[in-house]
Structure 1
Amino acid sequence: MNNHKITGVFSAAATPLNADGSPDIGLFTEHCQRLLAEGCHGVALLGTTGEANSFSSSERRTILEAALKAGVPADKLLPGTGVVAIAETVELTRHAISLGVTKVVMLPPFYYKGVSDDGLLAAYSQILEGVGDNRLQVILYHIPQVSGIPLSVPLIGRLIEAFPDTVVGIKESAGDFNNMQAIIAAYPGFSVLAGADPLLLPLLKAGGAGCITATSNLVAGSLRTVYDKVHNAEQTAAVDQAQARINAYRTLSNSYVQIPTIKAMVGLKTGNAAWTRTRAPLMPISDADYAGLSEAYAKLP
């Protein structure tokens, strides 16, 4: 895995909120530090699990600045900077670089559906040329079930060819292992990162680079065990045990609406009920579901 420019276990970090719906900066930075202490190589803040598209550009900048001010190293942060408007994506990406944060996760412009690969190539090209900084490393974000915009294997190749030192990886959140394998086979050295926790182990075995996942908010240490020990034949039992624990947490989080459930589970883990807050249109988990979740959570390994 040494030939990958970006490799490791990264948390798709949830974003806690104050009672008025604003980002709870203190709780968020505490969470980032805990994720790193538990074994994450980095924090992929302001993604889907982080409710990024419910925050303004100003709020996104404030959250990123706060993480750095709290002492989270710039090279361990992978903010999401891809939004609908190209100019705004350029602005958010430039802001990150101005702070020393050079790795970003970038959605394509996602409002217009059914767009061509030519259109997506043009959009990404305008963004990367608009940023115009050779320090930048971009992880493409493939989550078509939410964005409605798939990033095809040929398009990925065209982007790598056009920007070989900048377009260095992809977060594959469709959960399509065949697609992950196809990308790995087509583009050796390109960092393929799983967006679904259960796929980390098979992806690493297939030559993938790691993961950016939601359940890392809860079981970062287990994900790190899988990452560190997957190629050690003497550690098979430890890896299998860690993966089973990861799967148990992932299954529970998927038993209800996922993002509010992940947040509620972080609240159960930390003893802070503030974590249950979400920003509309997402709603907090219902009282009845929370009761069931709490009971099931207490039984997890």
Structure 2
Amino acid sequence: MTNRQIELFVPAITPFKPDLSIDTERFVAHARALMAAGAHGLAPFGTTSEANSLSVAERMAALEALIDAGIDPGQLIPGTGCCNAEDTITLSSHATRMGCRGVLMLPPFYYKGVSDDGVFDAFAQVIDAVGPNLCVYLYHIPQMSGVPITLPLIERLIARYGGQIAGLKDSSGKWENTKAVIKAFPQIDTYSASESMIPQNVATGGAGCISASLNVNPRGIRALLDGLNGPDQAALHEQVSAVRSIFEGLPLIPAIKAAVAEQNNDPEYARVRPPFVAMGDEHKDAVAEAVRIAGPQGAA
């Protein structure tokens, strides 16, 4: 097994003001609270962050706000993958210039049924344009993007770009796929998107977890990571799995934001951008139960 640091990165929610502009003050406050609660870093501007409802300018300004607030850019892996190369290059170049650890990159995701050759060319276009300082964490979420990142594609990218392909986030929810990536490419950092998979991920040689529910349960998930192979592992795993299970039965992003709002006693955190709608009263008890299990340790 390759020796590596096992880490938790949070795909931090993006709070919005009543006019639906980014609420930078709450965004920074939540990010700081997550780091204080034990997260090793942040992966903002991914799915949970509503990134595809944000403009390029908004993403860059929000990233700069995190760094200006004192968060080490080496602890940041912002999402940069867009449908067009120019936006992806702009965001990836900006993150690289800001000193970020890397970028979490979706493939172009509008056209479906594209070949590995086409997806390879899309990644290559960006990497070649940004240059050798870019570190890419591939983002595999085929149920949302419709464009899988296959093992042969990963192999080709590593053969061309070596260490610039730094890792992969597997949000497929299929452990067998995550396991296959870890086994085939031990030189890259492979993250599960579910904290319930942390024991298998770490035991197999993976790098940890990038999970939406880290927004709500950072201390519980960090406790599981720190308690692996200890006497309390089963109980810690039960706690994080219980929280995860609740969110899996709800509209995920509105539910995560509603839970953060409840933890802060601040309803402003619950606001979402269309096409999402705020969590309805029919899910209020489920969100409250997730917060009860997680405790009041989400945002501060």
Q: CA 1:180/1:72 → structure 2, altered by over 3 Å: closer, same or farther?
A: same
Report the Cα distance in structure 1 between the residues aligned to 2:84 and 2:292, rounded to whole angstroms.
45
Q: CA 1:225/1:300 → structure 2, altered by over 3 Å: closer, same or farther?
A: closer
Pick the aligned partner of 2:240 from 237, 246, 249.
Answer: 246
The amino acid across from 2:220 in the alignment is S
C-alpha contact (below 8 Å) 1:172/1:195 kept by paired residues: yes
The amino acid across from 1:251 in the alignment is S
Partner residue in 1 for 2:208: 210
The amino acid across from 2:167 in the alignment is G
Partner residue in 1 for 2:72: 73
C-alpha contact (below 8 Å) 1:102/1:135 kept by paired residues: no
Q: CA deviation at 1:62?
A: 1.0
Structure 1 SS opposite 2:103: strand
Report the Cα distance in structure 2 between the residues aligned to 1:267 and 1:128, rounded to whole angstroms.
38
1:221 and 2:215 matched: no
Partner residue in 1 for 2:252: 258
| 184-193 or 86-95, which deviates more | 184-193
Partner residue in 2 for 1:153: 151
1:3-43 Cα shifts (integer Å, max 9, x gaps): 44x74111111111111111110001011111111111000
Report the Cα distance in structure 2 between the residues aligned to 1:175 and 1:298, rounded to whole angstroms.
23
Partner residue in 2 for 1:276: 270
Pick the aligned partner of 2:231 from 233, 236, 243.
Answer: 236
C-alpha contact (below 8 Å) 1:68/1:74 kept by paired residues: yes
Q: Which ranges in structure 1 are unaligned for 5 or more consecutive residues?
A: none
Q: CA 1:178/1:18 → structure 2, altered by over 3 Å: closer, same or farther?
A: same
Q: Cα RMSD between the aligned structures?
A: 1.5
C-alpha contact (below 8 Å) 2:104/2:139 kept by paired residues: yes
Q: CA 1:296/1:219 → structure 2, altered by over 3 Å: closer, same or farther?
A: closer
What TM-score comes out, normalization by structure 2 length?
Answer: 0.94
C-alpha contact (below 8 Å) 1:3/1:189 kept by paired residues: no
Pick the aligned partner of 2:289 from 278, 281, 296.
Answer: 296
1:77-129 Cα shifts (integer Å, max 9, x gaps): 11000100011101111111121114110000111100000111111011100
Report the Cα distance in structure 1 between the residues aligned to 2:205 and 2:76, rounded to whole angstroms.
23
Structure 2 SS opposite 1:163: helix
| 119-128 or 179-188, which deviates more | 179-188
Report the Cα distance in structure 2 between the residues aligned to 1:41 and 1:102, rounded to whole angstroms.
12
Q: CA 1:296/1:223 → structure 2, altered by over 3 Å: closer, same or farther?
A: closer
What TM-score comes out, normalization by structure 1 length?
Answer: 0.93
Matched-pair identity in % = 37
1:210-260 Cα shifts (integer Å, max 9, x gaps): 111011111112222222332xx4x132x2222211111111222221110
Partner residue in 1 for 2:170: 172
Partner residue in 1 for 2:38: 39
Please give the residue correspondences for 1:126-205 in structure 2 after superposition, counting only pairs within 5 Å: 126-132=125-131, 134-205=132-203
Q: CA deviation at 1:206?
A: 1.4
Q: CA deviation at 1:299?
A: 4.3
